[in-house]
Chain A
Amino acid sequence: MTIRLSRRQFLGASSAVAGSLVVGFHVPFASVASAQSSAAHEINAWVVVQPDDTVVIRIARSEMGQGTLTGLAQLVAEELECDWAKVKTEFPTPGENLARNRVWGNYSTGGSRGIRDSNEYVRKGGATARVMLVQAAANDWKVPVAECTVDKSVITHTPTARSTTYGKVASAAAKIAPPTEVALKDPKDWKIAGKRLARLDTVDKTTGKQIYGMDLVLPGMLNAAIKDCPVFGGKVKSFDAAVALKKPGVTKVVRVGDSGVAVVADTWWHAKTALDATPIEWDYGPNATASSAKFAEVLKAGLDAPDAVAGNEVGNARAAIAATSRKIEAVYSYPHQNHATMEVMNATARWTPERCEVWTPTQNGEAALAAASEAAGLPLAKCDVYKLLLGGGFGRRGAVHDWVTQAVLIAKEMPGTPVKLIWTREEDMTHGRYHPVTQCKLTAGLDSDGNVTALHMRISGQSIVAAIFPSNVKDGKDPVVFQGLNPPGPEASLGYTAIPNLLIDHAMRNPHVPPGFWRGVNLNQNTIYLECFVDEIAHATGQDPLALRRKLLAKSPKHLAVLNAVAERAGWAKPAPAGIYRGLAQTMGFGSYVAACAEVSVSPSGALKVHRIVAATDSGYAVNPQQIEAQVEGSFVYGLSAALYGECTVKDGRIEQTNFDTYRVLRMDEMPAVETIVMPSGGFWGGVGEPTIAVAAPAVLNAIFAATGRRIRNLPLKDQDLKKA
């Protein structure tokens, strides 16, 4: 894995890039790109071949642990027919992407889109390069291309048994016009994709060599710490710089925008301690008295308010419910949560009147570039962003780049000097982009046989899209609010299409806490609401929770297949071991079908233990099954952390939880065994980083009900009494 450090180094690698030379920093990394050697030849945007047959595959999406770097490289290498043992990767910068007419497409790495959205064009990139390389060999031999075969970067002319390698023909291949059309392999013929290959980025993560954004050192670099107003929407009233300026190593104290104060010093520790000593007066603004309790009242009122927008409507649910003899109703809620990436927000920026450069872990290099350009007051073409591996992303580092804006504003105060801004964990916890807060009232109408004749889900609460991409809200509708509840479709559809009357609507209520795309996004709470409520219906009507789901999923075979797979593996038909209780959940989101069965026990004093999870995923195709398993296991850590402990509460307009002592997350001793069934059924491409999170909590909550008779409708579990009802 190569971290691209500067434009100059890149220019050395790629003759196809036009543009002015600018000052770049040479940073002494262990793994400086071998693609930067001038002997390397760019076959096309995705593939660079070196004389020693090393193939450098360009990766536009970001790597934050989810393995997309390896998966995308597998897809390119599969079509390229190169030697996997000689594959390296590098990130083209977003500035290069703009300069080359966005040849690498979308950089956004969220929504579990890394592979599902780019698989086709990256495979074509690999296939096109292969055709050009083989053509170059055929031209050299003056033989028809059809007589040549290729395997592991070796091209062979079968009739004469001559052979050459990619490295030897790369120079000629780079000059050949690319074919306009290439055929892609049938996935059943894959040799590199689809395999349980080791990741490409593991070794340096075990030796301390991997450089994250926080670790970057540039010549002459200074370090900055920042405090933003603790109340969202507040401002800096005044601050006394003199105190900090007397502290060791401090260079400067700067106001950052309306709401922040930063100290710049020789070391980050000096900057941080000097900032701690700096008196700052805040104008807390209009949100100074906001609280979670007050939000909850607003959301509650939204459950019955007339101003709702429908996301899925079949038949006439209200009328059908009114006409039924039996009704079941329940209200659920879901709190604000922080992403809490292990690596806190950070960016290094260098600004001059001519150019602004930023080094940062980001899920969307192009969005980071836009933020840098705006803060720098320079056009996009005079800025660039160098992506580093992320110490966790989970959605925090994607759509909003507030920390990049801050870093550039600080660097602008000291032209020419690179400044590395690192947040404290406390700053990170209290200035997040939080999982949206919602409540949901579910009402089901039942006939005399216990069949569900109508379902109304009223969601009341916060819209991420309204806050971040307001132009995507059309006629008051945030389409992302309905993840997992949509009409049949490829992205996030409701499986319970056997319910004849359905209304799922949303009353938008936006508190002042800024929301963000939080791994799993709205699929998380929607799946809890619906899957727990279906469990409620099953118990209220004396039906087996699996049997009821099978009935409601009768017209949704893919949803049903993953559910059946977990039920079979978990042994649902047989009694659980003594003291162990099971719960089920299923959903569809980010293009994939997922289900889980949780096995839990609850002690007489109410202590929960999750013993075992069986999970199934149908992502259509499985590019690297061992990494899908890693994503599924990780999804349970993320989802169970949220279910057990995840809650950010607001008092006096600010977030109360400031570190891992008050914002607990799952640790090793609480981690259940996870058995993952990867069951790609083919014909579509689904994501795997997020969907499974959504089934973690409801499977456990349903198992808790089976164990205790307690129906938990509000999270986190730490606040709930789990003693047997």
Chain B
Amino acid sequence: MSVRPMGLDQSGTVVGNRPARLSTVPAHLWRNSAAVFRRQPIATVIVGVFLLVGALAPLIAPYDPSKIHMRDRLQGPSRTYPLGTDEYGRDLLSRIIHGARIAFQAGVIAVGIAMVGGVLVGLIAGYFGGGVDYVLSRILEGLQAFPVVLLAIAITGIVGPSVRHAMIAIGIATIPDFARLTRGVVLPTKQLAYVEAARVIGCGDARILARAILPNCVPAITVLLSFSIANAILYESALSFLGLGAQPPQPSWGTMLSTAKSYMFDLPSYTIVVGLALSLTIIGMNLFGDAVREVVDPLVKS
């Protein structure tokens, strides 16, 4: 670990009167990315394609996802419609491409909320300990007793179904994961000599947390990130499937599947292609997460 409290010279005396700069910016980002790719080339490609498609959806999609072609409704895959059409004759490929965008947003926003909230709570609980830790930990335990889907169902059911609410609900329900993980890293880290050193040279709590302790949590958080995004996408699609997330005509994969269900007799390919897009994305994310874990986590590596 390259933890080097700058501001101390070789003999350990404080240089200058500025507070020490504690920096552990991951210097091997590129090397790590290459290592992840070597371990899981297919998964990395899937994740890459998903991100690209999500970002460039309007440019890639052959049709407008909401354009209705009533005469061509419920068609199987053909040359004009590579994956077929839905109940309004809308091009399925285009809808799936735009669905990637919704899934991507859902993953990023939900996990963003969970990460910011969870890391903050975890840092505070782990660092200050005592009563603060006790109260925060009990609250987290209580929150964790609610399955994410149920909590999200309750929240979206009450504030009204929409993708935004679904994302926020999933984010809140995922906070305990990040909080407990961060707290787990903070507890041993705050005992380390360099944290002690930072305190000795006069760093305040906020500075120690941000510059000395938080960087130590980054590897663990990185690992949790990709799994959480996969889960958030899964939950968003489940909520939309139940009618509590994205609303028609939004091309969310979950919403599409819940409509496709009714046409399973006439057009099974409808259900199959949408489900495959969703499944492939999540499989890719999970494999990618595995590779990230292997690269980042020194315990697994050895």
Q: Does B bind A? A: no
